[in-house]
Amino acid sequence: MKPLSGLRIIEFDGLGPVTFAGMMLADLGADVLRLTRSAAAGTGAFSEVGGEILHRGRSAVSVNLKDPADHVRVMDLIGAADAVIEGFRPGVMERLGLGPDDCAPANPRLVYGRITGWGQTGPMAQQVGHDLNYIALTGALHATGEPDRPPRPPLNLVGDYGGGAMLVVVGVLAALLEAKATGRGRVVDAAMTDGSALLMSLFYALQARGLWSDTRGGNLLDGGAPFYRCYTCADGRFVAVGALEPQFYAALIAGLGLTADEAPQYDMAGWPELHARFESLFATRNRDDWAARFAGTDACVTPVLSLAEAPGHPHNMARGTLAGTPVQPGPAPRFDGGIIAPTGRPDDLSLDGAVAAWRRPG
């Protein structure tokens, strides 16, 4: 038994956060059914971008949401579901007759999870955008990158996945707990702008205390500190240094052959010089030589691994963090120390077959 075994969730197929949220819920044991666009409705762009990994663990059913017969069957599925997740622009599901108010009479306890960039309300709710646009409005994008360069996109991890998918999963699970007690569902409005701003809580707290500057690359955790950044090694590869606490910093400088007098940690005026000193030292050895030198110490020095290298690292191999064919991240978090093995992508179903499979007794 997995933690979410017995839950039934309808995923209206989409890109980015909806797909990731569906994968997470399926990994944790929910019976998630992807409703994909049928050939009659016209195939959407990037419809298979998730492939074997992001679409794992759940079957797909092709539907034409504008077809009255398919609409009836989809509503039958919703009537048997515990939750719905969708990522269309506000108003799209309502125009299809599948919005929360349309579904409530058929299933009052339904939890309806909605992921958008700007949210269901506000002056930008109908505006198009992508992860980069959403995090630009929250301060998150401004804080990333080098001080003398434009902000650097942090992949689409902050808006799509951290601020969108992860928070809709939290919201849906919270609402499901409430629905179990009350018999009434909720609409979960997961805006990536809201979620990205929430992820920036620490940095707003530091700014309020005068401990964070809007000068990019000049702070403790944005590459400004010489003991919390990456360095280029002799072979052109990199190490990550995260020696924040004094005892860890002491292990770092010992491994570099320095003393505390030569490299005071929190003398910010001396940080540029210390940056240069560390750069020259790390450039004298290859990445894996440094990794071996600091292995087993508290210096918080690790090799920066590529996507091709990461699955072969002994720690990742021991935990099954990245495994399988194709190589993919395993489900997380873990429960009672056990590994939840990722499941493949089951065979796709017909719409009638899905309705029959989900029909509840009585």
The residue annotated as part of the active site, out of 70, 82, 131, 160, is: 160
- In contact, 14 and 87? CB cutoff 8 Å: yes
Token digits of residue 73: 């069957």
Token digits of residue 333: 């978090």
Q: Is 160 a catalytic residue?
A: yes
Nearest to 338 by CA among 29, 121, 18, 13: 29
First to last CA, the chain: 25
Question: Which residue(s) pair with 59 in the sheet?
Answer: 33
Give the three-class secondary structure for 190.
strand
Opening angle at CA 76, ends 71 and 82, nearest 5: 120
Opening angle at CA 333, ends 330 and 334, nearest 5: 85
Q: Left if phi > 0, otherwise alpha if psi is -120 to 50, otherwise beta: which for 6?
A: left
Tell me the pairing of strands 8-12 and 31-37.
parallel
Q: Is 130 a catalytic residue?
A: yes
The residue annotated as part of the active site, out of 130, 189, 275, 313, is: 130
Sign for the pseudo-dihedral over CA of 288, 289, 292, 298: negative
Q: How many residues does the chain have?
A: 362
Q: How far apart are CA 112 and CA 98, in angstroms?
A: 11
What residues are annotated to the active site? Answer: 130, 160
